[in-house]
Amino acid sequence: MSDYRKYVGPHWPWKNNMIVLPAAFLGGILYFRLMKRRGSTHYLVMAQGMGDNICALSYLREYKRQKGYTHVTLVGCPPFVRQVYQMYKGVADDAIYLKSWEHKALRYFSRSLIGQNYIAFSHRDRITFINYNCNISQRLMWDTENFSIAYYFKTLLYQIGPDAIPERPQIPDVDIGRFVEQYGLKKGKTVFLHPFAKTLRLDAAGLFQTLTQALARRGFAVVTLTANSEQMPVAGTPALICDLNEAFRLIEFGGTVVGLRSGFLDVMAFASCKLISVEDLEYGRREFYDLEKLGVNEDCHSVLYEGDRATCNKILALICSA
């Protein structure tokens, strides 16, 4: 069962409400500036999370087609989501990058009573906010088994039908040869670990160390994928620093990625690989963000954390089953 307080904290309601009015006011100013910039475009206000953005963009082409939008401008904040936008460069026509506080203020305006009414009656065909907390109650996706992020985009937000097929990101053919040679990667028998997640509050250091040792005994090469030098690798594995495009191609080469549930895995779910997502039983949005429900990878698996040894055995069974 999920623990709401663990993930939002007891002071969240107070903190959230204290910034609503000033943030909504500033967001209103930004909103009207957007409306004056260009009348022929449809604005798509992105999320701050990588996973939400990749899912939203994967359905954008079909959204444009069904709604008749000829020009779409993405509105978001740099830097880490910028590369995600580039993966759908031919689908989105333009992009505006905001500071983090500007982006947040714009979303607060959309959630205010004035913002909701103004957008609905005046600019409904000119702007779309992809964040679920701008459009539906957050309570809806807390412990709701049959409600997923893919369903939210297809059926509720974009309204393009439940049978809409997500579009794969455009990943360039980057050269990974230097990584293969330097780290001794084995084609089809390398497991990439990604024990990093901003949202998930799960201490799984012991799990990844146990898994590393078990995989090494079975002849697998094991490497930790990191975005920068600040992310520490799993003990006993080298840290391979790379960008999203390189990580995508590396995982397809190695064959398997195991990580804590994060937006990084949303992107990697489109790769031709075995993907194993480690989930926290207490995280209430687990069902909403279930990677298996995305329907983009038949070899995608979600594993609940139930202790280091038990969870390790589940992961090994999945990796060694082929």
In the block, residue with structure tokens 């993405």 = 74
Same domain, 91 and 47: yes
* Per-residue pLDDT, 133: 76
Residue 282 in this model has a pLDDT that exceeds 60 = yes
Residue 1 in this model has a pLDDT that exceeds 60 = no
Q: Could you give the angle at the alpha carbon of 223 between the alpha carbons of 222 and 225, nearest 5°? A: 145
* Per-residue pLDDT, 163: 93
Averaged pLDDT of the chain? 90
At 53, list the tokens.
């953005």
**Dist. CA 28–CA 107, nearest whole Å:** 9
Cβ atoms of 237 and 173 closer than 8 Å: no
Out of 129, 157, 185, pick the residue that ends a domain: 157
Residues 6+ apart with CB under 8 A from 36: none
* Per-residue pLDDT, 220: 97
Least confident residue range of 72-86, 197-211, 221-235, 262-276 = 72-86
Candidate ranges 85-89, 95-99, 141-145, 214-218; pick with highest mean pLDDT? 214-218
Same domain, 302 and 254: yes
Q: Is residue 112 part of a domain?
A: yes
Provide mean pLDDT across the span 96-104. 90
Out of 101, 122, 157, pick the residue that ends a domain: 157
Q: Is residue 279 part of a domain?
A: yes
Same domain, 128 and 196: no
Same domain, 198 and 134: no
Total domains in the fold of the chain: 2
Same domain, 306 and 202: yes
* Per-residue pLDDT, 120: 84
Same domain, 13 and 129: yes
Q: Is residue 95 part of a domain?
A: yes
User: For residue 191, which of 158, 154, 217 has the smallest C-alpha distance?
Assistant: 217
Residue 194 structural domain: 177-319
Same domain, 141 and 267: no
pLDDT in tens, 196-247: 998 888 899 999 999 999 999 999 999 999 989 899 999 999 999 999 999 9
Same domain, 9 and 151: yes
Residue 14 in this model has a pLDDT that exceeds 60 = no
Q: Is residue 171 part of a domain?
A: no
pLDDT in tens, 18-71: 667 888 889 999 999 998 887 789 999 999 889 999 999 999 999 999 999 999
Same domain, 264 and 184: yes
* Per-residue pLDDT, 5: 64
Residues 6+ apart with CB under 8 A from 41: 71, 72, 73, 93, 94, 126
79 upstream amide cis, omega within 30 of 0: yes
Residue 126 in this model has a pLDDT that exceeds 80 = yes
Percent of the chain with pLDDT over 70: 93
Q: Is residue 167 part of a domain?
A: no
Same domain, 82 and 29: yes
Same domain, 142 and 261: no
Same domain, 216 and 257: yes
Q: Is residue 165 part of a domain?
A: no
Q: Is residue 311 part of a domain?
A: yes
